[in-house]
Every structure is written in C-alpha cells, then in structure tokens.
Structure 1
Amino acid sequence: MSQAISREILAISLTSMQPPEEAASTNLTLKDSKTDEPINNELLLRPGEVGQMLLRLVNVANRPLQWQLRIVGDFPYDWCEWTQPNFEEIAPNQIVERVINFKVKVDFFENQLILNPENPLLQINYQSQIYIYIDEGREPQLIQYRIFHLLVRPNNTYLNFLPTLYREVDFIGRFVSILEQAFDPAVQTLDTLWAYLDPITAPKALLPFLAHWVGWEMDNRWDIERQRHLIRNAIILYRWHGTRYGLRLYLHLYTGLPLEQIQIREIFEQGFVLGSTYIGEDSMLGGGRPYHFIVELDLEPSNQIDEGLVRDMIERQKPAFCTYDLEINNL
C-alpha cells in the first residue's frame, strides 16, 4: 500500500478553465502550495464541448523526481481524456503544466440509459480526485491530492439575456433551458430560411413544394441532385423554351456534360449565301428537311445516359413543328 509523504517536495495547483458563474465567488487556496493563488475547484461541462482543468507542478526539492498523475471519481471514465502510462521526470525548480480534458456526450440529457435504476434522479454533479505519485526506486508514494467537482449543465444562451443575479441561480438556468430547447429550433429555422427556399440546400421533403411553386413537373427517372438543379433553373428554362440555348442548358443540367460536348446544329446554319460553297457541308442539291436540327452528345467512356429520357427532354424543349436527329458519340 502506498504511503503519503508529509513534507512538501512537489507543489501543485489546479485551475478550472471553465468555472461556473454560480460558483465564481467560491475560491480556495491549495494546501501546501508555495503561492496563495486562489483557484476554483469546480469545472463546468457542456454536453458535446471540451472542459479543461489546468494542472501546474513545481519541483521544490533539490533533486529530480519521477511523477505520475491518476484521476478517479464517480464520473464515467470515458469523459476524461488523460493518459500517462509511465512516470515522467521533473527537474529541480522546473515547472510543468498539463491540461486535463473532460468531454460529456452530446446526448447526455436526452439519453435515458444514464439513469441508474437504483437512483432514478439524473446526476449532474460529480466529484473527482487527482492523486500525484512519485517513484524513488521503491513502491510509488502518494505525495499530493486534490478534489474538484464536475458540474454538467445544458447549453443555454438565453441566460445571456438575464441579469447577473438570475444567472447565478442554477435552477433558473435549467428552467430557462427548457424554453430554449422548445423555441430554439424555430428560431434557427427562421435564421436559415433562405436555405429552405433554395432547391440545392432544401430538405428532400420540401422539393415537391418548391417544384409546384415554379410549375415544374418532377420526374422519378431523375436522381435527386439533377432534380434540384432543374427546379432551381426552371424559370430560365421557361424563358429560353424552344431555343437552341434553352435545349443545350436543359441537356447540360440533366447529363452533367460540359456545354462544349453538347452541340446543336442545323443543315443550313448560314442561310442563303452567294459565293463559294461546298456540297454536303454548307450546301445541298434538291430536297432538304426544313425545321430540322441535329443534337450531338460527346460522351466520355465513363459516362452513361438514358437515351430514351434524352429524347423525351428534347421533345419537351423543342418547337412542336421541328424534327431532329440524336447522335451520341463516344470519345
């Protein structure tokens, strides 16, 4: 069994980096410490956030020491992010500072598994002890220990709107937290309302409403990402309906191909020209198909498209009296 050394050879101090407001006036001075620095022995923990305790060691002996810190308490051990498997050396008059991290799970207050069947009350205050051992070739000896408390409290921003007198009362903080948890989702929705009205960022369940809003017919043959882009550009597609630009944009949004790989050409693009001509390229003899155009898609080997759906899109976008040919080329 390890024994405690009564004489002071290693002075320690422990400082809470997140002292609770309701305990801000409760200070203490570490016993056997060279300084009279007042500190707080209560650490405030918010679910999902990291709380820190600052440990400061001073070797006041005239020889190097091998030290090790151990933490125990009635809190779940996975909260504490501290590992020191071996003893570390501290030289005479050397000052060593270490940060001890604690992190409570984000669903601490929602997870009912943390309730003890023998004690149905939710525990929010925990007691912890820090023990400092030294190794001088024999059995490790306990030379210092400190006691501090962990106070788990919900995240509460509404307290910032209350006078200091009310913020120091723990019951008021927990009561206001109920109101915050009830109304905060609605407030956050209003703050980000623009994201709900943008088809790119809107929830999937809201897309049919946005599509109806702009008069766009959703098609289950399109994946969700293509439908988002089509709904967002519906007004532009309406404006350019029946034109070459509108058809190219429509095909671009569906296929994801660059506009350079989508070509729409007519047999007579230059109209009636006097001068040199080339049969089969910019002129032809007899016949001809008026109001006819050709759609060319240049695909990479990895690209796959539904030809039937592409034809359906062209039929929707082109003028009713026009005819077309579809050519799909593999690069």
Structure 2
Amino acid sequence: MRTDVPGLPSPHPLIDLLPAVYLEHDFLARFLAALDEALAPVLLSLDNLPAHLDPRTAPEDFLDWLAGWVAVEPHDESPPERRRAAVLGAVDRHRARGTAAGLAEALRLETGGARAEITESGGTVWSATPGTPLPGTRRPWVTVRLVLPDPGRVNRARLEELITAEIPAHVGFTLELLPGGAG
C-alpha cells in the first residue's frame, strides 16, 4: 500500500473545506495539516484506483495483491513484465486450464517463451453413474517436451509443480527438457 511517503501532498486539503472564519485558527490549521498528511496516501490511492487495478499500470507492490485476486502465483524472482503478463492473462488461462493449450501457455509464461510439445494418451468417457472406469487399459498420461536454449538453467522442480497444478489430478506426466534454439 501507499504509506509513509514523506512530503506527499494531499489532493484535497481539509483546510480548504472549512468556512473562512476557521482559517485564522493556527491550531486547527496544524491539526488538519497532520490529518492531510495521514490521509494523502489513502486519497491518492483511491483517486488512482483504476490504474492500481490494471495489471499493466499497477505499482509492483499491488501486483502480488492483484495476482491473489485472480488466483495466480507469479514467482517473486520473475521480472515485473512477466509477472504483469501472468496476472493480465489469468482469466483466459483459467478458461483453458486442464487442456493441452492451457498447459503450453502456462509453461511458455513460466520459462519466458519456451516451446512446449505436449502429447496426451487420449480417451474420453461420459457417464451419469459415479465410479465409471476411465477409457483405455492404462492410466491417462501426458508427455511434455520443452525445447530450451539451456535446459540446465531451468528449475525442473518448479516446472513439475506447475504441470501437476495444470493437468487433471488423475493424469500422470513425463517431463523432458530438450536443448534447442532460442526457445
């Protein structure tokens, strides 16, 4: 939040709201000036609320707060541009969550643009009865191949956490990190 900014002027000084008869009281002027100093960050935040709620223009300390609103967990080590993109595209990514396209987009954002090749075992079934067996004879599986300029520089554990969060709970996965072009 915007707090303790020395010399921050109030956009609406309280003394200006009083009738002229009170302007000559020194104590009242000093008292209201102290209130103005305390209220200035609040009033300026409210005046700029649309800019604070837009991930493209929000101050960095508000960005994590906005991320919580849209259920995104950008890494603190990520550059601000990547964190802003994660918050900005959250609704579209949530819509695609659990799909190959959604997983590819999440991996692209996490790695800064790496190309993901995703192969699914396939198979669907629909039933009105609980406990209906899944199609096929083996567990549903996803193979994820990430083409990266330097696979050794990627946090594999973080990628595995991301894949686990993005795919359906009953689906297993294999992650392959492959050396490639510029990603």
Q: Same fold (TM over 0.5)?
A: yes
Name the counterpart of 1:153.
none
SS at match of 2:55: coil
Q: Provide the aligned length of Structure 1 versus Structure 2.
A: 129
CA RMSD of aligned residues (A): 3.3
Return the alpha-carbon distance in structure 1 between the equivalents of residues 63 and 44 of structure 2: 22
1:56-135 alignment runs, 5 A limit: none
TM-score, length-normalised on structure 1?
A: 0.34
Name the counterpart of 1:253.
109
- Structure 2 runs not aligned, ≥5 long: 1-6, 8-36, 124-135
Return the alpha-carbon distance in structure 2 between the equivalents of residues 240 and 208 of structure 1: 22
The alpha-carbon distance between structure 1 residues 215 and 297, as it changes in their structure 2 partners (threshold 3 A), is: closer
SS at match of 1:264: strand
Name the counterpart of 2:172.
323
Q: 2:146 aligns with which of 297, 311, 315?
A: 297
1:1-331 alignment runs, 5 A limit: 190=47, 193-220=49-76, 222-258=78-114, 261-267=115-121, 289-301=138-150, 304-331=153-180
Residue identity opposite 2:62 in structure 1: L
The alpha-carbon distance between structure 1 residues 289 and 195, as it changes in their structure 2 partners (threshold 3 A), is: same
SS at match of 1:200: coil
1:218 positional shift: 4.9
TM-score, length-normalised on structure 2?
A: 0.58
Q: Which has the higher contact order (CA 8 A, sep 6+)?
A: 2
1:267 positional shift: 4.6
SS at match of 2:110: helix
Structure with higher strand content: 1
Name the counterpart of 2:18.
none
Return the alpha-carbon distance in structure 1 between the equivalents of residues 147 and 71 of structure 2: 31
SS at match of 1:298: strand
Aligned-residue identity in percent:
30
Structure with higher helix content: 2
1:224 positional shift: 3.6
Tell me if structure 1 keeps the 8 A contact 2:120–2:143: yes
The alpha-carbon distance between structure 1 residues 221 and 291, as it changes in their structure 2 partners (threshold 3 A), is: farther
